[in-house]
Chains A and B, each alone.
Chain A
Amino acid sequence: MTLRSDAAEIVFEHVTKRYGGSDRPAVDDLSLTIPAGEICVLIGPSGGGKTTAMKLVNRLITLTDGDITIEGTSVMKMDPVELRRGIGYVIQQIGLFPHMTIEANVATVPKLVGWDKARTRERARELLDLVGLDPEEYAKRYPAQLSGGQRQRVGLARAMAADPPLMLMDEPFGAIDPITRERLQNDFLRLHREVRKTVIFVTHDIDEAIKMGDRICILRQGGKLAQYDTPEAILANPADEFVADFVGADRGLKRLGLRTLGEVDVLASSPSTNGDRRPEAGPDMSLRDALSLMLTEGSTELEVRGDDGGVRGYLTLEAVSRMLGEGRDEARR
Chain B
Amino acid sequence: MSALAAAPLAQSGGPVIPNFGRGDDCIRNNGKFCLHWFLDNFQQRYLPRVGEHLKMTAIAIVIGFVIAFGAALIAHRHRRFELPFANVASLFYTIPSIAFFQIMVPITGIGWTSIEIALVSYTLLILFRNILTGLREVPGEVKEAAEGMGLTRRQILLRVELPLAVPAIIAGLRVATVTTISLATIAAFITPLGLGAPIFNAIQSGANTEFVGASLLAIALALLADVLIVLTQRVVSPWTRARRQSA
Contact partner, B247, options A86, A98, A146, Cβ 8 Å: A146
Main secondary structure, interface of A, reads mixed
Chain A: CB-nearest residue to B245: A145
Q: Does B28 contact A (CB under 8 A)?
A: no
Is there contact, CB below 8 Å, between B145 and A96? yes
Mark interface residues in B129-173 (1 if CB within 8 Å of A CB, else 0).
Answer: 000000000010111111111111001000010011010000000
Asked, given contacts A82-B150, A144-B243, A147-B244, whether A99 binds B163 with beta carbons under 8 Å apart, the answer is yes
CB-based contact A89/B164 at 8 Å: no
A142 interface residue per 8 A CB criterion: yes
Is the C-beta of B242 less than 8 angstroms from some C-beta in chain A? yes
Inter-subunit contact A112/B155 (CB<8 Å): yes
Given A91-B145, A97-B146, A97-B160, decide whether A81 and B242 contact each other with a Cβ distance below 8 A.
no
Least distance between B103 CB and chain A CB atoms (Å): 43
- Shortest C-beta distance, A3 to chain B (Å), equals 11
Contact across chains for A94 and B147 when beta carbons are under 8 A apart: no
Distance A145 CA – B242 CA, assembled complex (angstroms): 6
Binary interface encoding of chain A residues 79-115 relative to chain B, with 1 for a CB under 8 A from any of its CBs, else 0: 0111111110101011111111000000011001000
A95 touches B243 (CB 8 A): no
A95 close to B141 (CB less than 8 A): yes
Residues of A contacting B146 in the complex (Cβ-Cβ under 8 angstroms): 95, 97
B237: CB under 8 A from chain A?
yes
**Contact assessment for A91 and B244 in the assembled complex, using a CB-CB cutoff below 8 Å:** no
| Complex-state Cα separation, A82 to B152, whole angstroms | 10
A97 pairs with B142, CB closer than 8 A: yes
A147 proximity list for chain B (CB < 8 A):
244, 247
Beta-carbon contacts of A146-169 to B below 8 Å, as 1s and 0s? 110010000100110000000010
Identity of the chain B residue whose Cβ is nearest the Cβ of A141 in the assembled complex: B242
- What is the distance, in angstroms, from B105's C-beta to the closest C-beta of chain A? 46
Annotate A58-87 by CB proximity to B: 1 below 8 A, 0 otherwise: 101000000000000000000011111111
| B239 in the interface (beta carbon within 8 A) | yes
B148 contacts A60, CB within 8 Å?
Answer: yes
- Chain A neighbourhood of B164, CB < 8 A: 97-99
B94-141 CB contacts (< 8 Å) to partner A? 139, 141
**Smallest distance from the beta carbon of A205 to chain B beta carbons, Å?**
20
Which of A80, A98, A155 is close to B239, meaning CB atoms less than 8 Å apart?
Answer: A98
CB <8 Å contact, A84 and B147: yes
Complex Cα distance A142/B245, Å? 11
Q: Which residue of A85, A155, A158 contacts B150 across the interface (Cβ within 8 Å)?
A: A85
B148's contact among A89, A98, A112, A145, by CB below 8 Å, is which?
A89
- B132 nearest CB across to chain A (Å): 19
Residues of A within 8 A of B237 (CB): 99
Name A113-159 residues within 8 Å CB distance of B. Answer: 141-142, 144-147, 150, 155, 158-159
> How far is A98 from B239 in the complex, measured between Cα atoms in Å?
7
Q: Is A91 a contact of B150 with CB atoms below 8 Å?
A: no
Measured in the bound complex, the distance between the Cα atoms of B166 and A99 in whole Å is 10
In the assembled complex, how far is the CB of residue B216 from the closest CB belonging to chain A, in whole angstroms?
Answer: 39
**For residue A155, which residues in chain B have a CB less than 8 angstroms away from its CB?**
145
Contacts of B141 in A (CB 8 A): 91, 93-95
A139–chain B nearest beta-carbon distance, Å:
14
- A95 to B138 CA separation, bound complex (whole angstroms): 10
Task: Give which listed residue, B150, B239, B243, contacts A81 with CB less than 8 A.
Answer: B150
Q: In the complex, A94→B145 CA distance in Å?
A: 7
User: Are A95 and B144 in contact (CB-based, < 8 A)?
Assistant: yes
B218 to chain A, nearest CB (A): 35
Cα–Cα, bound, A86→B142 (Å): 19
CB distance from A83 to the nearest CB of B (A): 7
**Residues in chain A near residue B148, CB distance under 8 A:** 58, 60, 84, 87, 89, 91, 168
Q: Can you list 16 A-B pairs, Cβ within 8 angstroms, ordered by A?
A: A81-B150, A81-B152, A85-B150, A86-B150, A91-B141, A91-B145, A95-B142, A95-B144, A97-B142, A99-B237, A99-B239, A100-B239, A141-B242, A144-B244, A145-B245, A147-B247
Apart from A91-B144, A158-B149, 15 more pairs, CB < 8 Å: A81-B150, A83-B150, A84-B147, A84-B150, A87-B148, A93-B139, A95-B143, A97-B142, A99-B164, A109-B149, A112-B151, A112-B155, A142-B239, A142-B242, A144-B244
